[in-house]
Amino acid sequence: MHDDRHLVEGRLERAMRQFVRPAQYAGRTPLTLSVWHAPGEPVPVTEALAGTYESFECGTAWGAPWSTSWFRIEGRVPEEWAGRRVEVVVDPGFTGDGPGFQAEGLLYDAEGVPLKGIHPRNRHLTVAAPAAGGEPVHLLLEAAANPAVLRDYEPTRLGDVLTAGDRPIYRFRSADLAVLDEDVWHLVLDVEVLSELMRELDTGRAARHDILRALERMLDVLDLHDVSGTAATARAELADVLSRPAHASAHRISAAGHAHIDSAWLWPLRETVRKASRTFANVTALARDYPELVFACSQAQQYAWVKEHQPHIWERIKKAVADGNWAPVGSMWVESDANMPGGEALARQLVHGKRFFRDELGVETEEIWLPDSFGYTAAFPQLARLAGARWFLTQKLSWNQTNKMPHHTFWWEGIDGTRVFTHFPPVDTYNAQFHASELAHAERNFAEKGGASRSLVPFGWGDGGGGPTREMLEKARRLRSLEGSPRVEIEKPSAFFEAAYAEYGAKAPVWSGELYLEMHRATYTTQAKTKQGNRRSEHALREAELWCTAAALRDPSYAYPYDALDRLWKTVLLHQFHDILPGSSIAWVHREARDTYARVLTELDEITAEAVRHLGEGAPVVLNASPYARSEVVSRGGELVHVEVEALGTRSLGEAAGRPRGPGAHTAATRESAAIVLANEHLAVTVDSDGLLSSVRDLARGGGGREVLAPGTRGNLLQLHPDHPTQYDAWDLDAHYRHTRTDLTDAESVELVEDGPLRVAVRVTRAFGKSRITQEYRLAAGSRRLEVVTDIDWQESEKVLKAAFPLDVHAERSAAEIQFGHVHRPTHANTGWDAARYEICAHRWLRVAEEGYGVALLNDSTYGHDVTRTPHEQGLGTTVRLTLLRAPHSPDPETDLGTHRFTYALLPGATTGDAVAEGLALNLPLRVAEAGAVGPLVTVDNPAVTVESVKLAEDRSGDVVVRLYESRGGRASATLTASFPVAGADETDLLERALKPADTSATGLALSLRPFQILTLRLRPV
């Protein structure tokens, strides 16, 4: 037979485009429009119903950026349409290739009850099927004029309502009543499924040619001038190939409806409230027509918004959950970033998410659902299991630029040895549409063939919402068992995981350690003030809970602020969403985030101050929220005082002298030629005439001390690189940035500004480009850390600023703090996996070491680092750099411009335990207040066991909850002693539910922890 495939396929494509698809609606009649432009921010439907409407014509421009217009849509079903399927079809003019980015309309009935969302691939609302002639139509459309911000990653002012202007950005195209010709509509879907499948089949397979000839016969009987009259006959020609079952060996796909809704990204938080409502209205409406639908939906925060703002939709969600059409998933408050949230914050993501789904919907979620976060901490497996989760799902690793993940279904092993059964859908998208190319890719790509036979496909429009459509559900029906295609079963994700575990759990491979995303590495740095706000809020919450607990135990009249702390935690957790904390949202989001963090910190200061007042009256005291004892210099009314204070306790400042405490504790500053030497009993630091560190000597090592800096190098060298990612401005720090750099060695001034005896400091000022930076090297009596307090007016464009410390340490690997522990990463680039990890995330510290000696770099708000092996004339050293600031232009054209203040510190001679304790000290400054002196609430006699949080139980029983972990990577035995009488104690899960009684003795609770084990204890006070 002659090969005429291309002719038939071309004939089909033209017939569908020109004749068949336009015939899906057999008749149209325009509806009458009127409009009310809401002033300012969005308003509830009750206010819109009372608005003053004016006549509006299709074709008219509308919608200044970020504004909202309400359209009345009115008409009457023509008498001749009686008995037909009549729909309202609305096109407000939304544009963009991704419907999920334009899911911006919500239809209400005349009473203000929300009905269904509208977006470019889902414009209809069924009026009646069958309709009655003369039936009136009265609808209200809430249309949000949200601009398409991300256009080729070019700078734009559209990302903030303050700069977006007032020029209308849309033109209303049409609003019609129409008759859906169901025969034609089904014919379109038959053809799409078959033609898409045909193109995926190899030309050597008979099935491909059978489909081609069936499509050709369909075209032969279809009258293109009477598509409606011949559609049923045309469909009959396709019935045979559509009925052929899939092969027994066909890949099995578990499909779950999905609508990834970024809680903020190219839109502000307030808009996500409405995006969730539109999408959830769509899904609950769709479930009425397709009872097989299962919609997997994460992010408790979005449910909470809908519950508050759209009670009708909330009731429909609860019904859908009860009916099995809706599957709450994810177990978290939001789909957070999975690198930068602190340990307790990540635990609270799970606590608040799980609790919401349990209390509000009666569902005990069992999976972590993070398809789009930018890499995943190795602490997650343990946290997941401690929260009662059994499964983990992600998709983002398919974006790796260098290395392909070797598994799709596997056990993920965390730093403590805990494993969680994990799936990484081989379809490589979380917004699938049931296109044959997606399903074929899932089957070809699936790495576990031969051992496992199934994978998961999340389907539906997403990113900005939208969700599944009726066309997708129709395709799924046709693909349930179709020759040449994987089998498709719509079911809950839990059903997939149970089946996959039963089939493959005993044989699945293991991936140990972090799931590092080989992309989006700049998200550790972009929007520095957002990251700083998160870090400080996390620590302020920790401190507030501690002192509030102390006050509640000490003073029966004190009311523990459960509601305020709950609300503040949820605010911080929301802002850990994977586009807010990583810095990849629009300017509006980060402007609001800065203001929000300021309010959070102010309120937490007030809460802490109130709690401290209930600790009793007395002289000024120093409060230490760190779980380690401190010996530090603090300021009391402008006077420096050296104070020693217990872990988690207080110390009266009346006991502290305005002079160094302890033998040999001192600081001194001397001049040596053009340099200034700062010294105390631990360190001697030389600051040269360029304001750089020319020497850092660790005096604890004999023979004049050990030089920390590599020979011929200088420390705290600020380095400026051009920063032009290939595509994703805010997200990416591409490897080519390292090809060019400028060392900032010129100093305007280097001056001694403090000269002991309790602290010495040198201030260095530099100017470069349009920016100016002032840094103070501070060395306090008794301290082993050299602090670098930095103030910068950052005015650069598309640059990245790093601070380099070339160390005379031969380190094979670095250790970086993560949640509840640390991870090791090679300093070499032997493999593609090693080389791709050229920018890494660390929390409060990063340490490099050789046998017997280590150096740590601490920070109070920085996450991005890089570590490289650096040869010098005497051997091999290690250079550690902090990534301080960037200046990308998209999606925020003024990212990070302005003033910043942050601190980092060098800690020579640091063990892992030193890094843990000093990192906490830098992030939890001693607090001076008027209060009574109180001892620690709890003490632990092994410094390897770190107390993470102390709080009252969430059930308001008055029980005290203590969360702690082994922080050094070894086994640890310890005794925990409470300062209050304890009637009993339990080990619990993260949600404070008892697992087993704690091992109690006369001296306290006996603890035995494996490396990096997290332990939550619930103590019942007498």
| Beta-carbon contacts of residue 1019 (< 8 Å; ≥ 6 apart) | 959, 960, 961, 962, 978, 982, 984, 985
Closest CA to 478 of 241, 154, 318: 241
**Pairing of β 136-145 and β 124-128:** unpaired
**Residue 217 to residue 234: CA distance in whole angstroms:** 8
**Residue 686 to residue 708: CA distance in whole angstroms:** 12
Is 416 an active-site residue? Answer: no
For 449, the 3-state DSSP assignment is strand
DSSP string, 919-930: HHHHHS--EEEE
DSSP string, 123-167: -EEEEESSPPTT-EEEEEEEEEE-----STT---GGGSTTTS-S-
**Residue 510 to residue 439: CA distance in whole angstroms:** 26
Closest CA to 431 of 196, 97, 91, 104: 97
For 746, the 3-state DSSP assignment is coil
Of 160, 262, 337, 372, the active-site residue reads 372
CA atoms within 13 A on the CB side of 377: 27
Closest CA to 45 of 9, 72, 23, 65: 72
HEC letters along 620-687: EEEECCCCCCEEEEEEECCEEEEEEECCCCEEEHHHCCCCCCCCCCCEEEEEECCEEEEEECCEEEEE
Rounded to 10 degrees, the C-alpha dihedral 88/290/201/190 comes to: -50
Specify burial of residue 733 (Cβ count, 10 A radius: 0-12, 13-18, 19+).
buried
**Residue 351 to residue 402: CA distance in whole angstroms:** 35
Cross-strand bridge partners of residue 547:
none
Helices 343-361 and 562-574 sit at what angle, rounded to 10 degrees?
110
Specify burial of residue 810 (Cβ count, 10 A radius: 0-12, 13-18, 19+).
middle
Two tokens, residue 857: 């770099």
Strands (E), 664-783: 667-672, 675-680, 683-687, 693-698, 706-707, 717-722, 742-744, 749-755, 759-768, 771-780
- The set of catalytic residues is 372
